[in-house]
Structures are given as structure tokens and as C-alpha cells.
Amino acid sequence: MDLFEAATLPDRLSLLQQRIEIAAGKSGRLPGAIRLIAATKSHPPEVLAALFALGIQDVGENRVQEAAAKREVLGSKGTWHFIGHLQKNKANTAAHLFDWVQSLDSLELAQALSRGAAILGRRISVLIQVNISGERSKFGAPSDAAQALAREVNALSGLELHGFFTIAPFTEDPEASRPIFAGLRTLRDRVEKETGLALPVLSMGMSHDFMIAIEEGSTMIRIGTALLGPRQAHADR
């Protein structure tokens, strides 16, 4: 059965876990080394509640206001990741809502988020988004700026830097994403060596290319359609 054809959430989750196990084996790792983030943009709170009931605790949201509405319903359940483009003027709100912000792409944004976390007495786990492909349409710090940004983010008291995040260009052939994922792994390895920072997390891979990402060293995959089915229409909040 294909992931995108499975009818129920439990079936899709089971198939996804099988694919993760296969890809992890190819990279010489155990499936437990891969953290599954359910990308829940446009899905209602009931879907997130179903995920929690199945043991999936990590959910990823792209919009601050949408996440706020869902958290009003779901409370403190789960671990919440911000995986979209975060505007600096929403950093304080994000500091309230999210346990992880995966898409830091500038020092100014990092400083704003750190200030918001410090006011709350929190430390937020973060990743730096890197634009490995160099596409103008993609957010993220340029590859040659990632090392300096990592040093600066690591020094902020309200944040805890864990690694890097990237989004590969969408292509029909998942193999085309391999150089992007390999490039982020190589960059991470170099930054670790040259700075002494520990950056174990690589967040890369989505529904169409997660197996390639895992083979290239991903430790977090962000899965929407392959797990939850097509996004549901909703009013933009």
C-alpha cells in the first residue's frame, strides 16, 4: 500500500514508520534516531488530538495565530514546533506558544525570540534555517553566514541551539533533493568542527523526500500529507 493511498491515520502512520525504518537502516541508524514532526497546518484540533492518542507528540505549525487557536483547545498537550517563516513582530507570541522554533534565519529574529523567552523564564530550543539551494524564493540564512549566526545564537540566554533546518526545492524526483540534504550535513559537520558547538539535529525531509533525507543524516522529518492526508481548507487566521 502506498503512503498517499492509505485510508486511515493509523494505517498511514504504520506505513510511515516502516519507511523510516528502511531509510534509517540505509544510513546505519536505528529508527528511534529519527524524530517525526507531524506538520499540522490547516488541520483542526481534533486531528492533533488523534495524533496524540496514537503516541505522536511532536506537531509542527506554520502560523502563529493558527497554533494559538489550537492550543486554546488542546492546552499543554504535545511538543509544539514552529516550522514556518517567523516574523520578528510575532516573536513574543511564539515564545509563549512553541517549545521549538526551527526556522531562525537572522540574528535580529533570534534576539527578539530570546527576549520573549527570557521574560517568561523559558529557554526555547531552536534550529537555524539555512538556504542550501540558494533559491531566492526560499527563506533561510545563506550557507556562508551559518557559522557566524550559529555562534551568535548560541550566546543568547533565552535560546538553546540544537542544529540546522532546511527545505529542499520540490521536484518530482526525490533523488534531486539528495545534494541539498548532503550539503546541510556537510555544513553542520564543518560548523561543529570549527566552532566546537554540538549541533546534533538536522531537520530536513518532508512527505515526498523524507527517505532520502534520512539516508543523508536527517534526525527530524516534517510530515504533512503522507501522514494526515490533504490539507483541509480553512479561513486564514
CATH number at residue 48: 3.20.20.10
- Flag whether 237 is in a domain: no
Residues 74-113: tens digit of each pLDDT? 999 999 999 999 999 999 999 999 999 999 999 999 999 9
Share of the chain above pLDDT 90, in %: 88
Q: Give the global pTM.
A: 0.94
Q: Is the separation of the CB atoms in 59 and 47 below 8 Å?
A: no
- Per-residue pLDDT, averaged over 165-178, amounts to 93
- Flag whether 205 is in a domain: yes
Residue 223 makes CB contacts below 8 A (sequence gap 6+) with 16, 36, 37, 38, 39, 206, 207, 210
- Flag whether 235 is in a domain: no
In which residue are the cell numbers 560548523 written? 191
- Flag whether 35 is in a domain: yes
Q: Which domain holds residue 174?
A: 3-228
Q: What is the pLDDT of residue 235?
A: 37
State the Cα–Cα distance between residues 205 and 51, nearest whole angstrom. Answer: 20
What amino acid is encoded at 99 in this protein? D
pLDDT averaged over every residue in the chain: 94
Residues 195-237: tens digit of each pLDDT? 999 999 999 999 999 999 999 999 999 999 999 987 655 433 3
Q: Is the pLDDT of residue 6 over 80?
A: no
Between 171 and 59, where is the model more confident?
A: 59
Between 7 and 127, where is the model more confident?
A: 127
* Number of domains the chain is built from: 1
- Per-residue pLDDT, averaged over 3-20, amounts to 88
Phi, psi dihedrals of residue 6, rounded to the nearest 5°? -60, 135
- Flag whether 234 is in a domain: no
- Per-residue pLDDT, averaged over 163-180, amounts to 94
Q: Quick one: pLDDT band at residue 170, thresholds 50, 70, 90?
A: confident
Maximum C-alpha span of the chain: 49
Q: What is the pLDDT of residue 1?
A: 54
CB atoms within 10 A of CB 160: 15
- Per-residue pLDDT, averaged over 30-50, amounts to 97
- Flag whether 178 is in a domain: yes
Q: What is the pLDDT of residue 234?
A: 46
